[in-house]
Structure 1
Amino acid sequence: MRVIERFCRGKRADQSLNEDGVVITDGFAAVVDGVTSKSVRHLWRPSGGVVARNLLVDTVGTLPRNATMRETQMTLDRRLRAEYARSDADESVFANEPWERLQANAVVYSAAHREAWLFGDCQIMVNGVQTPTMKRVDELLGEVRSFAAQAMALDGGADSATAPDRMRPPEEPDGSDEVASDESDGGTEHLPGASAASFESESHESIKPNESLIGPIGPDSSVASDESSSRTAEPNGVGQPETEPDDPARNLIMPFLRLQSRFANRRGMYGYFVFDGFTDPTYPIRSVPIAPGDEVVLASDGYPLLRPTLTESERELARLRRDDPSLIHEYRSTKGFVAGQESFDDRTYLRFVA
């Protein structure tokens, strides 16, 4: 492999909260995207996405060069499953409450097998041709969030952040005295109401064996944070908030985002693959053939409009931030850009010649 350019950046100023990662060895190149937490119990520090990313990046680094797709799948998935035994929660929690699991997606290129494996919704482009990876359930909930955001804008304009409270019937309590429980309630969950800069740098280099690229990848590929950016605090001062304080439409769909996890690793219209310690060893995984000399892009979904170069992908991201900052029109997402964050999601981009 000959790397052309690579970039990994968290949306928050504190890069220790970046849930994306990149790893390159003499046999593999992979982009890992830890899933944003929808937890009620808050079992993982600093977040489930960070823990899952770290575990999978480390595990890819130990894979035998000739590991097959299924061997790779089961090795990565077992690593997450093993972590449940080390947590403070009973393992039945992870069996019965899938939103509490460690979850991550990955795209893994195998030099030995000359193919890339799409484990979830990370992205790939080969010689300028992208393979679609958008999940049906993400399309659905992105549409619902768009509907909610537009309805609240009509209802309250600048005061739309209070819309969820104003939609309660008058006789109901306003919820100010209620506290979301972190304890199990017989299967009943208590649901809390719940600048992309242009980039011009390229680096051309050959890969050294077992080179691990995690988080910001050095000064040649970093994007400066807005000086006004700051980490958003959460209770107890740790980790990542489960919802953004100024995204009331996402708060409205949060119960459905948790419900979505019921479809993890299931077949059917809303089913999808995700590493969570419970994957199906026969689940259909898309493989993309890679020939010697092919130019390959691996990326997380932090680039909603993937392009053949990092500069172009960053430019499209900046345009979206300018034209559709809530991500409810052109690209309907389950979350949008918020103040104090560099982008709407962590983002990773790796371009190389096979």
Structure 2
Amino acid sequence: MRISSTTQTNFIAVIDGESAKSSICFDGQAPGKLAAQMIQQVLADLHPRASWDHFIQEVNLSIQDYYALKQTDPKLKAVGLQAVAVVYSRQRQEIWLIGDCQALVGGQHYSQPRPADQILAHMRRLIAYTEMRIDHKAPDSYFAQEDSAHLQVLPWLVRTSEFANRTDTPYGYAVLNGDPIPADLIQIIPVDGKDSVEIVLASNGYPELAPSLEASESQLQALLAQDPHLINQYIATRGQGQFASFDDRAYVRFRV
């Protein structure tokens, strides 16, 4: 996870590395973390007037060069360097929503949830309720040791990487992974430069994105207190587990 801003504030971004789906590391780092670092460096070096497609090209070159240098097996791409991002370009006065990050622009919410993740979240819920019924366990007891339902959908989370950056399927989604991303999978949000507008950029670790960090955190904590396993109010592919929340989160608010 990265919150990135160049020295001249030409770009402000939230960069969210993909959650690890295997034990494979790259140079001792989780692939999502390394991908986020690469993207942050690309933004730092990017021309202030660069377009969204040029940004993606530069990210892809960085990832491809890394794979070539390390002679990485192409089969590892499904669990390799992957990240999503939401980027504000000050010079172009627009926001690039690439993947399942989210934004608030003048109070209007923008997001791009992955279709397959939504299905697999409900599949995890079905597995959990079925096994709890069979084993006569309450949710806290069932999830006490490990999230068995998440482990069962995890292979499918890896398999659905087949839909990355594809438009020939209803399950296509955008991700920065070294491959071209079709324009149809990216949201470009114009920001009117005539009137002052407040912008929030965030990762998908906030099920409800509010106009302030305090309100977003408060809503998240209320959800986790009522549904820590995320099988009732907010259906997800994994629950809170032993962590502070179910996913990494980053939040940045500014006015232009």
TM-score, with length taken from structure 1 = 0.66
Pick the aligned partner of 1:266 from 166, 170, 174: 166
Cα separation, 2, equivalents of 1:160 and 1:97:
33
Cα shift readout 1:203-248 (whole Å, capped 9, x = no counterpart): xxxxxxxxxxxxxxxxxxxxxxxxxxxxxxxxxxxxxxxxxx6211
Counterpart-to-counterpart distance in 2, 1:351 and 1:161: 35
Distance in 1 (alpha carbons) for counterparts of 2:27 and 2:99: 22
Q: Paired residue for 2:218?
A: 315
Secondary structure, aligned partner of 1:278: coil
User: CA offset at residue 329 of structure 1?
Assistant: 1.2
Deviation per CA, 1:152-193: give whole Å up to 9, x if none: 22122156469xxxxxxxxxxxxxxxxxxxxxxxxxxxxxxx
**In the TM superposition, what are the counterparts of 1:270-309 in structure 2 within 5 Å?**
270-280=171-181, 282=183, 284-292=185-193, 293-309=196-212
Which stretches in structure 2 are left out of the alignment for 5+ residues?
Answer: none
Whole-angstrom distance in 1 between the partners of 2:238 and 2:166: 24
Equivalent positions of 1:135-150 (< 5 A) are 135-150=114-129
1:283: how far off? 5.0
Q: Determine if contact 1:123/1:131 at 8 Å carries over to the other structure.
A: yes
1:234 is matched with none
**Are 1:22 and 2:14 an aligned pair?**
no
- Is residue 21 of structure 2 the alignment partner of residue 38 of structure 1? yes
1:42 CA drift (Å)? 4.2
Q: CA deviation at 1:100?
A: 2.7
Q: TM (normalized to structure 2)?
A: 0.91
| Separation in 2, partners of 1:332, 1:350 | 25
Q: Which amino acid aligns with 2:146?
A: D
1:315 is paired with a residue of what secondary structure?
helix
Instruction: Tell me which amino acid in the other structure corresponds to 1:342.
Output: A
SS in 2 for 1:351: strand
Q: How many residues align?
A: 248
Q: Which moved further from structure 2: 314-323 or 146-155?
A: 146-155
- The answer as to whether partners of 1:33 and 1:53 remain within 8 angstroms in 2 is yes
Say if 2:3 and 2:14, in contact at 8 Å, map to a contact too.
Answer: yes
**2:210 alignment partner, SS class:** coil
2:55 aligns with 72
- 1:170-209, aligned counterparts within 5 Å? none
CA distance in 2, matches of 1:57, 1:247: 33
Deviation of the 1:97 alpha carbon:
4.2
Cα RMSD of the aligned pairs, angstroms, is: 1.8
Distance 2:200 2:143 in 1: 38
Q: 1:109 aligns with which of 73, 85, 88?
A: 88
Equivalence map 1:307-346=2 (5 Å)? 307-339=210-242, 341-346=243-248
Percent of matched pairs sharing the same residue: 33
Q: Please tell me the residue identity of whatever aligns with 1:305.
A: E
C-alpha distance in structure 2 between counterparts of 1:63 and 1:147, whole Å: 45
The residue aligned with 2:64 is: 81
Please tell me whether Structure 1 or Structure 2 has the larger radius of gyration of its CA atoms.
1
Whether the 8 Å CA contact 1:145–1:334 is kept in 2: the answer is yes
1:252: how far off? Answer: 0.6
Per residue, is there more helix in 1 or in 2?
Answer: 2
- Deviation of residue 77 (structure 1)? 2.0
Shift of 1:44: 5.2
What's the offset of the Cα at 1:30? 0.5
Tell me if the contact between 2:197 and 2:255 (Cα under 8 Å) persists in the aligned partners: yes
Q: Distance in 2 between matches of 1:103 and 1:306?
A: 23
Distance apart, 1:281 and its partner CA: 5.5
Q: Higher relative contact order by CA 8 Å / sep ≥ 6: 1 or 2? A: 1
Instruction: Tell me how far apart the structure 2 counterparts of residues 76 and 49 of structure 1 sit (CA, whole Å).
Output: 14
